[in-house]
Amino acid sequence: MHRRNILWGAISGLSAAFAASRAIAATEKPAPAKLKVVYHLSDLDKVNFVLGNIQNHFDGVGGPDNVTIALVIHGQALRAFHSASANPDVSKRVGQFSKAGLEFAACGNTMKSQNVGLKDLLPGFVTAETGGVVRIAELQSQGYLYLRP
């Protein structure tokens, strides 16, 4: 009789320990997946607004280690990134964001229409050879969330 009580007590103790460990595991949240976001910029008058949104995005998630951001630029907005005429604040932000790993993709079609090459843009740009909207679609197919402020 005494052996049954010892055995029953051991089983009950193990069951309680197992239940407690499962309850703790259920309250622990898994680490969220790193978000991937593509910003779409085509309006010249929204350049500073979009760059501010990107800075706010980095600040809101704790920095570039926690999010992957690409900025695809076409149309008149690309003029703000011509190295010969870029605003110093825009130049500074592009440099900082490039160091943080942000992809700056310039629409190849827009570059042709504005008669500029990569050498004419601020450092850090890549060319979206097939076009800005095609690059956006490619990124979305890779799981990037689309934002157009």
The confidence band for 146, taking pLDDT boundaries of 50, 70 and 90, is very high
Long-range CB contacts for residues 110-116, cutoff 8 Å, separation at least 24: 110/73, 110/74, 110/75, 110/78, 111/78, 114/78, 114/79, 114/82, 116/78, 116/82
Question: Is 55 exposed, middle or buried, given 0-12, 13-18 or 19+ CB atoms closer than 10 A?
Answer: middle
pLDDT tens per residue, range 66-122: 999 999 999 999 999 999 999 999 999 999 999 999 999 999 999 999 999 999 999
pLDDT tens per residue, range 113-139: 999 999 999 999 999 999 999 999 999
| Protein fold of 35-147 | Hypothetical Protein Ychn; Chain: A, (3.40.1260)
Domain residue ranges of the chain, discontinuous segments joined by +: 1-30, 35-147
